[in-house]
Amino acid sequence: MAKVFRKRRSNSILDKKFKRYFIYAVGEIILVVIGILIALGINNWNEEINNRQQEVKILDQLLIEYTTNLEEIDNKISMRNMIVESVEKLFHYADEGFSDISIDTVGLCIHRTTYDPTFDPADGVTNELLNSGKFYLLENEELKNKLTSWFRVVSELNEQEELTAKFVYERYLPYILENFDYRSIKKTKTVVDNQMNKLYSDGEVRKLNIRRDINRETVEEILADKGVQSYLILVGGLNQAGNLKSIDTRNRILEILENIKSELELKK
């Protein structure tokens, strides 16, 4: 078609039919423009398909990441609840006695108050997404906003956890070690031990065996000590504060998961 226009344009020049020449020239330009627009449209269409395929892949990865984070935060919330419960039980034993309670149970409660649960999120996909320039692939603006502020939410929780850990390791635990025979109260069978059982049984990790019978008199001294009681109040309060921050983080995870799942339903 373009050749026909050029041929007729040449003929028009020869025949000095300038008006017809102009019309054919414009027609040729229009054909070229239409061809370019069609090519651009096809290219944009292919690029859009590729972008949506990449988006679905990213959403699948984010779904795994934040499902893992939900399990992790729930585990840490449970551990803090366990610590708070142990503090409450120790005050009950201090006030009411524990003659009818297994001494191992009391020792375990004391040991649990030295835990420092920390939330360690899986954030590789989110971090790469924010730093790689692929953030634009996500179409859900609400999801993008929540992912953008994710690290701020985690940072606020980690600050609270660091405060608790600093208190436990720099003040509470040193006080116990300095004033009492910790081996006489240490209960080696803990939640952490349960999680490590497979590694122990496979021989991949050597278990530290320092177990001996818990000394009832030492336990009684600890529970009666006013300094320990003051520290226990702070241990309980700090872990409660940690769980309040953890609930905020958990709610953010649930919101992100809801956005991811709704997007996947639309895209798949």
pLDDT, tens digit (0-9, with 9 covering 90-100), for 121-140: 999 999 999 888 888 899 99
Q: Is 16 left (phi over 0), alpha (psi -120 to 50) or beta?
A: left
Question: 0.85 cut: is pTM over it?
Answer: no
Q: Evaluate whether residue 240 is within a structural domain.
A: yes
Q: Evaluate whether residue 60 is within a structural domain.
A: no
Question: How many angstroms separate the CA atoms of 14 and 24, rounded?
Answer: 14
Q: Evaluate whether residue 43 is within a structural domain.
A: no
Residue 135: exposure state from Cβ atoms within 10 A (0-12, 13-18, ≥19): middle
Q: Evaluate whether residue 179 is within a structural domain.
A: yes
Distance (Å) of CA 187 to CA 47, 80, 193, 210 = 61, 18, 10, 10
Q: Evaluate whether residue 49 is within a structural domain.
A: no
pLDDT for 62 beyond 60: yes
How many domains is the chain built from? 1
pLDDT for 40 beyond 70: no
The domain of 228 spans 76-267
Q: Evaluate whether residue 231 is within a structural domain.
A: yes
**Residue-level pLDDT at 188:** 47
Q: Evaluate whether residue 119 is within a structural domain.
A: yes
**Residue-level pLDDT at 225:** 96
Query: Which of 123-137, 142-156, 198-212 comes out lowest in average pLDDT?
Result: 198-212
Q: Evaluate whether residue 94 is within a structural domain.
A: yes
pLDDT for 106 beyond 80: yes
